[in-house]
Structure 1
Amino acid sequence: MKRQGDEEEGSRKRPKGAVEVSEGKLFQLWGKGYTKEERAAMQLDETAVYSVTDARTADRITTHMLALEGAPFRLVADGCGCVGGNSLSFGRALAKQGGRVMAIELDPIRFAMLENNVRVSGLVETVTCVCGDSAQLVLDPTAPRDAGAQRAWTALRSLSRSAVGREAS
């Protein structure tokens, strides 16, 4: 792995802490759903190299999620967004069904990488990125529950103004 500290790559500045990995590792992490150029534009740091869910596993999780009772879901929250492994897989699947993904990441540097990866993936309209603590954002014990027993998303809606490329609706 080669560290990159605010180096220019093409016309895009890579954030401090971003690392470069081999083309094989990029394929493992991001899969065949992206071109070689898109995979190369994805950003990750040393932690993400070992902690982001690889494409094959993320797609399996998505397949199982879509088979759950109550599917298809209109909104899925990824409480540990990292740089987007599961969020991007959820987003690709839910985009076909008109659903949305809330990708929550606590670390500001990984959050910036997550936003980049959502843009590179073309999922800006489906995946909303939120920088914050998912335990505090999602679990509001005073929030009303709807028939599907989903928590109200008031806290997320107010924080999702940091959504990639648009205001939250």
Structure 2
Amino acid sequence: MITSDLIHYEMLPRGLAVGALAASIIGWRQGGASRDAQIAGALFLACPSPFSAYSFDLGEAAVMAIFVPLWVIAVPTPWPALGLFMLHQLARNTIGHSGYELMPATAAGRPMFDWITSTTHHDLHHERGMNYGLYFTWWDRWMGTEHPEYHARFAAAVRKRRVGALVAAE
């Protein structure tokens, strides 16, 4: 029988925050490793899709699979926090490979939440081998790996989305 003493709901926000920080650090470093090793094939790099969101090679899948049990052993994390993080990870990965820019934009065409990676940010990762931040763009800014055309490409994607919406409304 599970009691509230075992679940530790008061640790949920802290567990989510620490988990997101650790995953972002590991994600940025893993991106650098795949850049160095050039694991993915040219077709995958040119044509990401939601179906390729979890298309890992064997080594990458092993690293991703071992992370969760090691994390739970190293950091006491409530199971609801772990479940929420896994759900968040699945949604972000699928959206990042969708090919559609869903990030809200300011009137100037910049990402409204510029510290969070967008679909355009991730597409440039596949296209040019830059932008290794998994959840947050600040890692790429700090490490000098953000694509120099990111904001211009984001503005173009948002402009295209707005034009499409105007044409559909007419």
TM-score by length of 1: 0.25
Which of these two proteins has the greater Rg computed from alpha carbons? Answer: 2
Between Structure 1 and Structure 2, the one with more strand by share is: 1
Greater relative contact order, per chain length (Cα 8 Å cut-off, separation 6+): 2
